[in-house]
Amino acid sequence: MTPSDHPKRKPSPATLAVHALDADKSPGSPVVSPIVQSATFYWADPADGDLVYTRWTNNPNQIEVGRKVAALEGMEAGLALGSGMGAIASTLLALTKQGDHIAASSLLYGGTHTLLASELPLRGVETTFVDPCDGDWEAALRPETRVVYLELPANPSLRVPDPRPVVDLAHARGITVVADLTFASPVNFRGAEVGIDVVVHSATKYLGGHADLIAGVVAGPSSIVDQVHRVSKFYGAVLDPHAAWLLDRGMRTLDVRVRRHNENAQKIAEWLEGQSAVARVDYPGLASHPDHAVAKELMDGFGGMVSFVLNGGGPAADRFVSALEVALAAPSLGGVETLVSQPRYTSHVGLSAREREERGVPDGFVRLSIGIEDASDLIDDFEQALAVAG
């Protein structure tokens, strides 16, 4: 068999995250792409190519990241933008117009919920929220529904409802399915494999992985990504070239980082289940999780996010967080360091206590973004903090 006859296997996420798809392999070319820190490019007329102005047509660093994300997600095209919310907002604005309707999961990041519930109605776009675990998606759909919006796993409850039934339902009606897969990362779950049309990520999190940049990405069909790009030009959700370079650097270690996140989170979730101060542990890798069977079927790993509820409620959670010595009390997630937060103060501060309770986020709820430290050191830290929490 000659090399040309050898069947080509699709590269794994680990390989795609390292290598640029169209890397220059000529002698003397850099292994690491240089930062093109330029706002504008020599350009006289359309014959001079696509690079004109960084906000308008992107920049080599942004383009490389977009292509890499598309490859990781198994999508046709990708786009890197200035933040996760920039990616979400640009996508929804591109897919809807005044008079249109969105059907969305009720289990969402707080910023996304506010965008759907308060901001898009100002532009004439209404949203119906559906409990993705036992709600009636079909009843929520209207003739003017243009988008079904999902989040898997959900922030911060970590529910993993099966997306396949709602994807089939939406596609039967010509509705585009968009999913925020930030918590999963392309290492653990790729939306295209279950028919999700468009994937968004806050690349600030696992894709970047080092808590040193703000970015968002969109991946999907070229026709839709082009629409999102058009919107982003006018709303200004541009990603700085240096941040794009940092993002590409972060993605090179995505696979090894996420596998360590998965391993540590599983150990810590299992340990938390045995603690008398803990009322409930939410982690898809636990047999006790209501969506464990679905997560096991769909995901290659259960992720680095673990949530739990303390018996002592909000006061106990405050004491727990204040007593931490290794883990850091801070919002955000997906970095190499372990971060701990209370959604009632951060991601879901805009919801009332009753609304948070309905979403499985009562007072006393603590969210852990498990890093890549030694799991035993983290367990020791959590053990002493639980003793202080009482």
> Would you please indicate which residues are annotated as catalytic (active-site) residues?
55, 109, 180, 205
Are the C-beta atoms of residues 123 and 153 closer than 8 Å to each other? no
Backbone φ and ψ for 211, nearest 5 degrees, come out as 55, 35
CA 193 to chain centre: 16
Report the distance separating Cα 61 and Cα 54, nearest Å. 10
**Cα separations in angstroms, 283 against 116, 159, 205, 369:** 27, 8, 18, 12
Count the Cβ atoms, other than its own, within 10 Å of residue 42: 9
Joined together, the tokens standing for residue 257 give 């980082």
Report the distance separating Cα 319 and Cα 312, nearest Å. 10
Are the C-beta atoms of residues 106 and 140 closer than 8 Å to each other? no
Report the distance separating Cα 196 and Cα 199, nearest Å. 7
**Cα separations in angstroms, 66 against 77, 91, 224:** 7, 15, 14
Report the distance separating Cα 251 and Cα 268, nearest Å. 25
